[in-house]
């Protein structure tokens, strides 16, 4: 079976070296430490329910210097991604391992306890802050997707996962993401989440070399299948595809039916046509947007910025706090990431532009309030 080499510039190694990492996790900033490598099979075998291999991985983790509380925390964290049954089975196996080692006279280091929360701790504020830091942008006020469709699940994620669990400082955020991507790689059908958490792993400072170490441990100690799943997700994240899957023919996307822009996001009659997207997952998307005279978008931001290419008419664009600028055919507008702005047609002319945005966590835009007539 072929594997494909992944390439990415090493990310802020100096920053990674400054992040506090619990002992014995921290040994080097260039590759995964011995302790970090031992996290991977413990999390993976907990997730896929392979108890004999989990037993061996727990013993190896303790022998390598992981503390009892660090392993407990891996198993606690696992329930959020693999479910209570798998996590409780893993905890039961750990009890068996600890009882056997006690009988053998082996004394394992217990390790630090999690810092207790104060009685007035604001879980919601802390949870939003943690999640925003992990994904690299503010997603506290989502206007679509699961937070709008089922708000309570987002509350559980914020208040419990990103507050109750992530507040526990037995593991740091790098270690927790290593647990998460190991769980997701071991579970078929979780590729979208694996893609997202590999990106988060890079956001919290895991380098290209460390992720390559993670892939190697999956291949050597967990399974070829899990390694292939994670390798494909990482290659997709970096825009690297298998050679045999590269298309050799030009692809033409025919003009489709125009759709009316939502009244929630536009003032006036706006239509979108000729939508397009990259063949690579989590890459750019776009379309041709047509504004009647005097129509405009609501305030909004783009997580990775946006490019507009004006094709006809006369338009205007404004970023918050700046003057309105006129845009004409042939003008190219660049909107930086997370900058509040709006754009539309002048009062006396329609305007059309091509809009191109990159996707982050399957989102290209965050819509906000309407722009006033004033």
pLDDT above 70 covers a percentage of the chain that reads 88
What pLDDT does 374 receive?
Answer: 82
Check pLDDT > 80 for residue 301: yes
CB 131, CB 158: distance < 8 Å: yes
DSSP label at residue 157? I
User: Pick from 83, 77, 85: which is nearest to 161 by CA?
Assistant: 77
Q: State both tokens at 239.
A: 């825009």
What pLDDT does 255 receive?
Answer: 74
For each of the domains in the chain, give its residue range(s) and CATH number, in order of start: 13-115+168-243 (1.20.1290.10), 259-367 (2.60.120.10)
Q: What is the pLDDT of residues 159-169, one digit of tens each?
A: 999 999 999 99
Mean per-residue pLDDT over the chain, rounded:
88
pTM over 0.85: no
What pLDDT does 247 receive?
Answer: 54
What pLDDT does 27 receive?
Answer: 39
User: Which pLDDT band, with edges at 50, 70 and 90, does 22 fall under?
Assistant: very low
Check pLDDT > 60 for residue 18: no
Which residues have a Cβ under 8 Å from the Cβ of 197 and sit 6 or more positions away? 177, 180, 181, 184
């Amino acid at each position: 079976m072929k594997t494909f080499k992944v390439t990415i510039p090493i990310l802020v190694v100096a920053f990674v070296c400054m992040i506090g990492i619990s002992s014995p996790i921290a040994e080097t900033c260039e590759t995964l430490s011995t302790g970090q490598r031992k996290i991977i099979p413990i999390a993976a075998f907990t997730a896929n329910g392979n108890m004999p291999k989990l037993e061996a991985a727990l013993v190896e983790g303790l022998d390598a210097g992981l503390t009892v509380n660090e392993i407990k925390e891996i198993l606690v964290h696992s329930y959020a991604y693999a479910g209570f049954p798998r996590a409780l089975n893993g905890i039961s196996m750990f009890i068996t391992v600890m009882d056997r080692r006690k009988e053998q006279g082996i004394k394992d280091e217990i390790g630090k306890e999690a810092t207790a929360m104060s009685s007035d701790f604001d879980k919601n504020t802390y949870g939003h802050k943690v999640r925003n830091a992990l994904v690299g942008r503010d997603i506290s006020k989502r206007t679509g997707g699961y937070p709008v469709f089922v708000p309570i699940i987002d509350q559980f994620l914020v208040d419990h996962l990103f507050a109750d669990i992530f507040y526990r400082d037995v593991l740091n955020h790098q270690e927790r993401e290593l647990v998460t991507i190991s769980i997701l790689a071991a579970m078929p059908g979780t590729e979208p989440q694996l893609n997202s958490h590999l990106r988060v792993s890079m956001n919290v400072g895991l380098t290209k070399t460390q992720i390559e170490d993670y892939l190697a441990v999956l291949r050597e100690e967990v399974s070829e299948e899990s390694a292939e799943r994670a390798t494909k997700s990482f290659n997709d994240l970096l825009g690297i595809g298998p050679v045999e899957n590269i298309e050799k023919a030009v692809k033409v996307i025919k003009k489709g039916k125009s759709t009316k822009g939502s009244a929630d996001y536009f003032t006036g009659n706006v239509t979108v046509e000729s939508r397009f997207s990259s063949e690579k997952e989590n890459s750019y998307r776009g379309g041709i947007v047509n504004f009647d005279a005097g129509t405009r978008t609501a305030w909004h931001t783009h997580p990775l910025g946006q490019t507009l290419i004006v094709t006809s008419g006369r338009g205007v664009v404004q970023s918050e706090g700046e003057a309105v600028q006129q845009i004409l055919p042939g003008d190219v507008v660049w909107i930086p990431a997370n900058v509040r702005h709006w754009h539309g047609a002048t009062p006396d002319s329609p305007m059309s532009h091509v809009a191109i945005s990159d996707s982050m966590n399957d989102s290209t835009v965050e819509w906000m309030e309407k722009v006033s007539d004033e």
